[in-house]
Amino acid sequence: MNKISIGIVGGAGYTAGELLRVLLCHNLADVKFVYSTSQAGQPLHSVHTDLLGETDMVFTDTLQETDVLFLCLGHGLSAEFLQKNLSNHNTRVIDLGNDFRVNNQCGEREFVYGLPEINRAKIAAARNIANPGCFATAIQLALLPLAQQKALRGEVHIHGITGSTGAGRSLTETSQFSYRNNNLSIYKPFTHQHLDEICHILAQVNGDDFLLNFIPVRGNFTRGIFATLYTTTVMSEKDVVDLYSRFYKNEPFVFVSPKTVSLKDVVNTNKCVLNVQKINDKLFITSVIDNLLKGASGQAVQNMNLMFGLPETTGLQLKPTGF
C-alpha cells in the first residue's frame, strides 16, 4: 500500500505535537507539511523540543494537497478554516476540535463522530471525522455498555480529573506551574463543554432517560484523565462485569480490569482501562485514559487507520509509563 500523505494544521499545540510523535513512527504515514502561521520557517523541534533528531521538518504557512488533513485548531476555528482554505473534497478531514461533534455539517462536508467503539463501520466509510473530546471519550466508554442495554437510567454522578495539558498550550493563570503544583481546583461544574457531545451520543444509543452530573477538576499532573462515575442499578456486580467484558471483548484499546486502576496504566498509550464494581445499590465505574492520545491524537490516528483500511492499531502499539 502507498503511504498516506498527511497535513497538520495548527501545528504548534499539544495535540499536534502528540500527533507528530505518533505519525513519525507510523510505517504508512507520510507527513507532508505542518501548518502554523505563528511558527512558519522554524523547525518543528523549536516548539516540540523532543522531536530534535527525529525530523528536520519546518513549520510552513503554505497548504498542500494531501490524502488527509488533521485540524488541531482551537475550538470554534475549524469551520472557518475549512470554508476559507479547503475546496478539494477529495481530501479527508479529521478535526480534533469541537466544531462538528454535535452539529456535523460544514458546507457539503458531513462529519462522522469518531468514537470507534460505536461508529467503526461509519468511520471506515467516512470522508470527514469529528474526533471526540478527551473527557467525552473517558465518560462515554464508561457508560456505553449500559446505554446499549437501555440500562442507563436516572442520575449519573461523574467526577473527572484532568492533567494540565488538557487546557492547551496557551498560558493561563490556572495552567501555570505555581498554580497547578500541589493544588486541585474545580471548573465549569455541571456546564462543561463536553456534556452536549456526551449526552448527544449516549442518547442515540440509550434514549433520554438519564441525567449526567459532571464535576471537572484540574489536576496537579501533566497528562491523563481519571474519571469516577456512579449510579444506582438493580444489576448484580457479576452481571455488570459480564456486560462490560462482552461489550469490549474485541476492542483493541479498551480493557476491563478486575483490579482498581491508575493513570500509569494508560499514560503514553491509546488505551482506556475500566474498573466496574457494585457497592450496595451503587454501580461504581472508574475510567482512565491519556487525554492527549486516546482522548485526542491517538484516537485521531486510530480513525485515520480505519478510514484507509488499515488495522486500527497501526502505529499505536505504545508502551505505558508503568513507574
Asked if 27 and 308 touch (Cβ cutoff 8 Å), the reply is no
Q: Indicate which residues carry an active-site annotation.
A: 134
For residue 208, the number of C-alpha atoms closer than 13 Å in the C-beta half-sphere is 2
DSSP secondary structure code for residue 132 in this structure: P
Give the helix ranges, DSSP H, for 114-249. Answer: 116-125, 134-148, 177-180, 194-206, 237-247
Longest CA pairwise span in the chain (Å) = 61
Asked if 93 and 304 touch (Cβ cutoff 8 Å), the reply is no
Residues whose CB is less than 8 angstroms from the CB of residue 60 and which lie 6 or more positions away in sequence, other chains included: 33, 34, 35, 36, 40, 41
C-alpha closest to that of 45 among 56, 33, 34: 56
Asked if 290 and 141 touch (Cβ cutoff 8 Å), the reply is no
Backbone angles phi, psi at 94, to 5 degrees: -120, 110
For cell 487525554, the residue is 291
Extract the C-alpha cell encoding 285. Answer: 465505574
Extract the C-alpha cell encoding 253. Answer: 484499546
